[in-house]
Structure 1
Amino acid sequence: MSELLAQFELDDAVERQYRLGEAAERAGRLREAAVHFRVAADQRLGDAAVRLAHVLFALGEEPEAAQWCTAAVADGFPEAEELGRENSQARQRFLEHAARITVGAPTFDWLPPAMPSRRLSPEAIAARTQALRVLDQRYGGIACHSSVLEHLAAVEPMIVVDDTSWTAVAEVHELAGWTAFDSGQPGTALPHFAKALTLARQAENEALIASVLTRVGRMFLHHNAPDDALKAFQLGFVAAHNAWADRRALSNPAQAVAALATKVGTYGEGRARTLTLTALARNHLALGDLPAATEFAEEAVESARNLRSARAEDHLRWLDQEARAAGAFLLAEQISARFTRSG
């Protein structure tokens, strides 16, 4: 009888460890979750070995995670083998996503789980993000990662109702990825960095894309993946060059035209192409090349035909104003026709 009671108490204690592991994983306390799941996995409780391997992969503990995958498969959980393959491919999938983002491909492939409970301005989102960034710099990612996730949960739904918030929310995802990395959770960091890139592309914020990819490169280096780090840095360099080209526009039109002419060919239809064509028209106008400016203006107007973007409209209006100031009335007519049709 005492033997049966002892076994019952042991089983109950192991089950409690498994439940504690589940709760810690849900709360984002992955190292604590690993401790609890390890106890349960040692006693071969259910799928504890699979759950432990998943947490260990997220923590970057790949050798131990692979051992538990092998044990789980031996215990009749074949999905653990797929878990190992998925982890080995995670960096490659991220880099493929980053490459698409860098060449301007829109890849909005997820939506927040809920609508916003209240409206938040981009300025309010950015102010809170900056305060959390200061905490990260002063005390480290572990100290503020959970607070960053709470901030993200509150602000991410804004991307559904307000496209002006895309950059602000992208910066929160970037910080969530960075603090996850600094908390020893590289597997958790990558999805945040991927979403930051997606939103930065939606906002056409090349500088933010470059920043995210630089952070990812540093994370890959830290976790002994120099080849993948180099790819991330190279993609970040392309984004930084694009950001430089955007900022050089009109201050050095000849150099801007050369950079923008290369860039425009990488874009399909959409806002990125419209903005780049408009920038080309403005810079050719600044150089006094009216035929080229008019041609690019026509293309920009056509590209914007089905586009609803306040930023694109602003850029076209600036081109219209500059054309009128330069006496390029044929070019200005191209822009006016756009506003006549849409107004």
Structure 2
Amino acid sequence: MSELLAQFELDDAVEQMYRAGESAERAGRLREAAVHFRVAADQRLGDAAVRLARVLFALGETDEATQWCKAAVADGFSEAEDLIRENSEERQRFLEHAARIMVGAPTFDWLPSGMPSRRVPASEITRRTRALRALDQRYGGIACHTSVLEHLAAVEPMVVVGDAPTWTAVGEVCELAGWTAFDSGMPGTALPHFARALTLARQAENESLIASVLTHAGRMFLHHNAPDDALKAFQLGFVAAQNAWADRRALNDPRQAIASLTTKVSTYGEGRARTLALTALARNHLALGDVAAATEFAAAAVASARNLRSTRAEDHLRWLDQEARQAGASVLAEQVSARSAHSR
């Protein structure tokens, strides 16, 4: 009788550890969840080995996670095989997403679950992000990751009703969420944040943010012994940094900008990114006094923008119009003015 009672008490204690693991996982306390699930998995309670493996993959503990997956498969939980495959493919999926971002492919494949309860100005989002970034730099990601996630939950719905400044601001929060997750020892949860940051940065056509996100992702890959993936991320980030430089309104070296933009424009399909690159090429050729080339690129930019609704693209075309008038390039100015008149 005493043996049965002892077994009952043991089973009850193991069940409580499993429930504590669930609670900790929901709260984002993954290391605590791993401790609880490990006890339950040792006693072969239900799918505890699967739950433990999922948490360990998120923590970057790949070897132990794989061992528990094999144990779970042996116990009849075949879904554990999918966890191994998904983990090995996760970085590759992120890098493929980043590559699509770099060529301007449509990537906005998610939306927040709800609408914003109030409009939050981009400047307000940015102020809070800067304060949290300062905490991260001084005290580390563990100290502020939960606060960053709370900030993200509050502002992410603004994506639905936002514009380029808002997408950039929320993208910066996603980037910080990914970075603090990595610094908190949870690389597996960092990549989805980095991926959404890239999506929002492309939506805002913010090459500087794209470069920053890819640099942070590359540093994370390097830290977790994935040098090949780190190199790919760094290379894509370098291209984005070059693009950011080439996109500045006031360029100190038009010839170098033209060389960079000529390579860049060939990678874009129809849409905003192509229009911006063509407009920048027109402006830089105009700065060199090559009115014929500038006019040719301006015509291509206007054609590319025919079905485009983008304030940023309109601003760049307007700047081109102003510069053409100042340079006495009347034909070029007429082309852009005709576009502006048609779009009103």
**Same fold, TM-score > 0.5, yes or no:** yes
List alignment gaps of at least 5 residues for structure 2. Answer: none
Which residue in 1 is equivalent to 2:169?
A: 168
Paired residue for 2:234? Answer: 233
* One-letter amino acid matched to 1:121: P
Write out aligned runs for 1:165-314 (5 A): 165-247=166-248, 250-314=251-315
Q: Which residue of 2 aligns with 1:68?
A: 68
- SS of the aligned residue for 2:299 comes to helix
Verify: 1:8 aligned to 2:8, yes or no: yes
Structure 1 stretches of 4+ with a deviation exceeding 4 A read: none
Aligned position for 1:123: 123
8 A contact 1:21–1:36 mirrored in 2 = yes
In the other structure, the counterpart of 1:111 is 111
RMSD between aligned residues: 1.3
Structure 2 Cα separation of the partners of residues 140 and 285 of structure 1: 48
Q: Secondary structure at the match of 1:191?
A: helix
Count of paired positions: 343
Give the structure 1 partner of residue 95 of structure 2. 95
Tell me how far 1:103 sits from its aligned partner.
2.5
Query: Which region of structure 1 is more displaced relative to structure 2, 140-149 or 300-309?
Result: 300-309
Counterparts of 1:195 and 1:241, CA distance in 2: 22
Q: TM-score, with normalisation over the residues of structure 2?
A: 0.97
Deviation string for 1:223-281 (max 9, x for gaps)? 11111111111111111111122237543222211111111111111111111111111
| Aligned counterparts of 1:126 and 1:64: Cα–Cα separation in 2 | 39
Corresponding residue for residue 140 of structure 1? 140
Moved more, 106-115 or 134-143: 106-115
Provide the identity percentage.
82
Task: Tell me what 1:78 maps to.
Answer: 78
Q: Give the CA deviation at 1:339.
A: 1.8
**Equivalent in the alignment of 1:340:** 341
1:31 is aligned with what amino acid?
R
Q: Secondary structure at the match of 1:294?
A: helix
Moved more, 182-191 or 159-168: 159-168
Deviates more, 1:36-45 or 1:95-104: 95-104
- In structure 1, stretches of 5+ residues that fail to align are none
Q: In the alignment, what sits opposite 1:25?
A: 25
SS at match of 1:156: helix
With the length of structure 1 as denominator, give the TM-score of the two structures: 0.97
The match for 1:37 is 37
128-137 vs 230-239, which moves further = 230-239
